[in-house]
Amino acid sequence: MTKQTTDRLWAKQNRRLGARESLFSAAAELVEGGPVLYPGSYVDIAASFVFSDVTCVDSDARAGRFFADRSGVEQIVSANKRYDGPSRFAFIHADYTSDLKLAEGGFNLLVSLYAGFISRACKRYLRIGGLLLANNSHGDASMASIDPQFDLAAVVNRRGGTYRPSTRDLDKYLVPKNEQQVTRELLERTNRGIGYTRSPAAYLFRRVAV
């Protein structure tokens, strides 16, 4: 892949300029540094602007070609990173539900954005005490909410294009609009999140058990 193509793919991914970077910055306020695992990343390298150690995973052929242009990706990261020192980023070209050959409990942050039930498939790679950053577009926040291995630690709200974490009134979140029993079977059948009375941009769950 040429540098021009790499830049074009990133520009398309980053069409909401800085939005993902702001989201990761909000998560970073509660995360004890890296390393970070980002399954279903496609070509989203914004996590590497905030965290110095990120492993992305995606099965899309375009993502494979994008990350194969390592020098092009390094240039984008170097131009945008918010920290001193080197960046370490890795890419695994695979379906995240497969065995990724990664150390169990080796990551401080697991990212799940618009990519399915990552909390279930990849939680073994998240250390006890580590955080899951999830939105509810494809139901993963709902899935994490019923998993006894996770506790809600914070929500991330968006105001004026900027994301901010909050730990206030967490008991008022994850309350379904309609009376219904939230089950794994329901979420897998619908492949979408439950409608809640409050809908933050994202949730942060802490892994509390094996």
Say whether 142 sits in a helix, a strand or coil.
helix
Q: How far is CA 107 from the centre of its chain?
A: 12
pLDDT at 170: 98
Whether 6 and 22 have beta carbons less than 8 Å apart is answered as: no
Whether 113 and 40 have beta carbons less than 8 Å apart is answered as: yes
pLDDT at 1: 65
Computed from CA positions of residues 36, 138, 45, 18, in that sequence, does the dihedral angle turn out positive or negative? Answer: negative
Q: Which residues of 155-189 are buried (b: 16+ CB within 10 A; e: fewer)?
A: bbbeeeeebbbeeeeeeebbeeeeeeeeeeeebee
43: Cβ–Cβ under 8 A, 6 or more apart, which residues?
A: 9, 10, 13, 62, 63, 66, 67
Q: What are phi and psi of 98, to 5 degrees?
A: -85, 175
What string of pLDDT tens digits covers the 210 residues of the chain?
677 899 999 999 998 878 999 999 999 999 987 799 999 999 999 999 999 999 999 999 999 999 999 999 999 999 999 999 999 999 999 999 999 999 999 999 999 999 999 999 999 999 999 999 999 989 999 999 999 999 999 999 998 889 999 999 999 999 999 887 899 999 999 888 889 999 999 999 999 987
Cα–Cα distance for residue pair 186/176, rounded to 1 Å: 14
Cα–Cα distance for residue pair 183/87, rounded to 1 Å: 40
**Structural domains of the chain, with CATH:** 3-207 (3.40.50.150)
Whole-model pTM: value is 0.95
Q: In terms of DSSP H, where are the helices of 33-131?
A: 47-50, 61-68, 70-80, 118-122
Say whether 105 sits in a helix, a strand or coil.
coil
